Every structure is written in structure tokens, then in C-alpha cells.
Amino acid sequence: MKGKELKSRDIDSLFNGFLRDEGSIILGFKKDTITIGHHVFKGNIKDFSLINPFFNANGALYFRRLFSKGSRLLFVLRPCEIRAYVELIKLTQMEREGMIAISVDCPGTESVKETKGMTSLPEDIRDYFKEDTPKRWACINCREKRGVVGDGGIRLDKDFNMWIIPYTEKGEALIATLEGEWTDVPQDMAIKQDKEPEVFKTDLDMLKKDLSKCILCMNCRDMCPVCYCVDCVFNTDEYLPKGDALLNKILRTGEVDLPQGKELFHLIRMYHVSQTCVGCGACEEACPQGIPLTKYFKGISERLQGLFSYMSGRDFNEPIPYTTFKEDELKNAED
């Protein structure tokens, strides 16, 4: 695979070059002395950071329903964020036209809630990789930490030299603006391919127990990058009745626990995102009640994607399984 070596100063010239155009913006991370987080850069990339060791939300969320209208947008984000972006394109919730997505090798992240002040950010990118910080469950079990998704990737070889590699024509055009020769990228990288996930197995009692503290605030849904429906079924009285509708239901069918419909909400959401969930754990991060959601959403989605040998966000051209079919398949589906 061909790519270019990327020195720290190249990052500046590459991205500042991109921003020179009026109407071009970059979504990445900004790090200053106080904080680090998602930031949209315009004009120049002052305080830009390739890596953010603290996770608060999946960055693909912010530009959902974006139809670029002539502007150019460059995403420089974690693999799970770029994968969500790829899924949103397939779901026609974003337009691919003016956008370029670059995934950056991710050593794993810590929950932003766990960090006690964010003042001691390592200066050097390598330290993120070396430091043995506690990681979120989603990251320990992450399926794709490598910057191998999107239009291009920024990767680290085992000696911590940085490489930028194109995966599509768009990525190639961007990287072509960078000085330096196209060379063969080393095989041996700092972050290796993850092993196949284990087959998730649980039961309803376990789910019920885990959801016992759920208050049905639906933050998990709202922060999920791929849970995009404008008219969500849970905003209606049919699925989660309130007021009169709840009273009618109780008179019709009997007693209920409140909040009513926790298992219903999570199981349906789990199915609805089953092919597009990227296992980022943004849902769990958003939950005020500390419910271990990722294990269910990631576990179920990996099982259901496995049925169709699909992996969310891996490839722009791989259709989402529920939107396509083969005539000759699933012979055992019928009972």
C-alpha cells in the first residue's frame, strides 16, 4: 500500500492548505491548556490535535443531516467516528460530495467523566500510546482501532513514524497536495488488527437487571450517531404512552412499572441500529445512570452484522444488509 510519511510540520501544511479555501472547514480535536474536545477549524488549525484520549461523544453526530452545498468539510477523527460517518452516508443522512473523512489510529479512550481535570495532556502523540491509562469498555473491546476507514487514514508504524494513506480517490487527491514521495507503507504498525469479537449471549433477566436504574431519559438515543430518525417511534404514544394514553393502556391491560417500556425501548433501538452500530459507546457515555449499554448494543450488532458478513462503516460501497438481499440465501429462516 502506498502512502506518504507525515511529519508533525506536514500536518500543519496539509490541513492549513485545505483551509485556505473559503468555505472549507475541518472537524477534529482542539487542545489548549484547559481542555480538549471536538472543534471545527476555519482558516487555520491552531491548537489542532490528532488524538483525543478522552471520549465524550461521537463526532459524526454533529454533522448529521449535512448537505454540504458547495462547502468542503474534512473530518479528522477516530475510527469509530469515521465509521459512523460512513454509515450516515449510506443512510442518506449526509452527502458525500464535499466531504473527506480521515481516520486516525486510536489507542483507545477514557471516559471524559472519569478524568480528574484535563490538565496533564501528554505533549507527544506517542505518550498516548505508551501510557497505561484506564480505557472505556467500548475501547477495550473495540473492533477497529486502526485508521483504515474513510477516504484515508493516519497511521503509526511500530517506531511511531506517522503515515498518511489514501483509501479512495478523494483521499488520494488530498494527500497529493502534501509534499513528499509516495512510498510503500511499512507492514508493521503500532496498532494491529483486532481479533474477531466473541459471540454475545445474555438473557432478558440480565437486561432487566441492568436497566433497573434506567429513567428513560433517552439520552442514549439522542447521542447515538446512527440513531437518526426524525420521527422516532418512541416520541409517540403507541410505544411509550404518557398521560391519557398511559391511563387507557393501564385500564385496558393492567398494572405497570414506571417508567413504562424500558425493555421495549432498548430492544427496539437495539434492533434498529443493529446493522449500523459502530460500538463507539457514546450511548453509555451519555447515560446519566451508568447503565452498561455498550455491551448490549455492540454485542447484538456484531452478532446481527455477522449474519450478513457485514461490518458497519468498513466500506462506503457495502450496502446496509436490511436494504438489500440475495435471492438465494437464509434457507433456514423459514419455520
Partner 1 sequence: MAESIKNKNIEIVGFACSYCSFKASEMAGSLRMKYPEGVKLIEVPCSSRVDPAFIIKALIEGADGVFVAGCHPGDCHFIKGNYYTRRKIAALKEMFNAFSIDGRLRLFWVSASEARRFVDKVTDMYNNIKEKKK
Shorter beta-carbon distance to partner 1: residue 182 or 325: 325
One residue of 253, 258, 290, 317 binding partner 1 per CB under 8 A: 253
Q: Rule CB under 6 A: which residues touch ligand SF4?
A: 55, 58, 78-80, 106, 108-109, 138-139, 142, 145, 214-220, 224-227, 273, 277-283, 286-289, 291, 293-294, 297-298
Q: Is the bond into 259 cis (omega within 30 degrees of 0)? A: yes
Closest-CA residue to 111 (of 190, 57, 168):
57
Written as nine digits, the cell of 137 is 469498555
| Alpha-carbon gap, residue 139 to 114, rounded angstroms | 14
Q: Could you please report the per-residue DSSP string of 102-121? A: EEE-----EETTT-S-S---
The one of ligand SF4, partner 1, none whose footprint includes residue 297, by CB under 5 to 8 A per kind, is: ligand SF4
DSSP H helix total and E strand total for the chain: 11, 11
281 binds, among ligand SF4, partner 1, none (CB under 5 to 8 A by kind): ligand SF4
Which residues 6+ apart lie within 8 Å of 295 measured at CB? 137, 200
* Total residues in contact with partner 1, by rule CB under 8 A: 36
Least Å from the CB of residue 121 to ligand SF4: 16
Cβ neighbours of residue 136 under 8 Å, at least 6 residues apart? Answer: 55, 108, 109, 110, 111, 281, 284, 285, 294
- What string marks each residue from 197 to 226 as x (binds partner 1 by CB under 8 A) or -? ---xxxxx--x-------------------
Q: Is 70 helix (H, G, I), strand (E, B) or coil?
A: coil
Which listed option, ligand SF4, partner 1, none, makes contact with residue 27 (CB within 5 to 8 Å by class)? none
Phi first, then psi: give them for residue 2, nearest 5 degrees. Answer: -90, 150
Strand partners, 78: none
Q: Which of 270, 273, 282, 291 forms a contact with partner 1 (CB under 8 A)?
A: 270
Interface with partner 1 (CB under 8 A), residue from 29, 308, 312, 313: 308
- Give dist(CA 73, CA 240) in Å, integer: 38
The three cell numbers of residue 147 are 485508521
Determine which residue in the list 271, 288, 292, 319 makes contact with partner 1, applying CB under 8 A: 271
The option from ligand SF4, partner 1, none interacting with 80 (CB < 5 to 8 A, set by class) reads ligand SF4
Which residues contact partner 1 by CB under 8 A? 200-204, 207, 233, 239, 253-255, 263-264, 267-268, 270-272, 274-275, 299-300, 303-304, 307-308, 321-322, 325-327, 329-330, 333-335
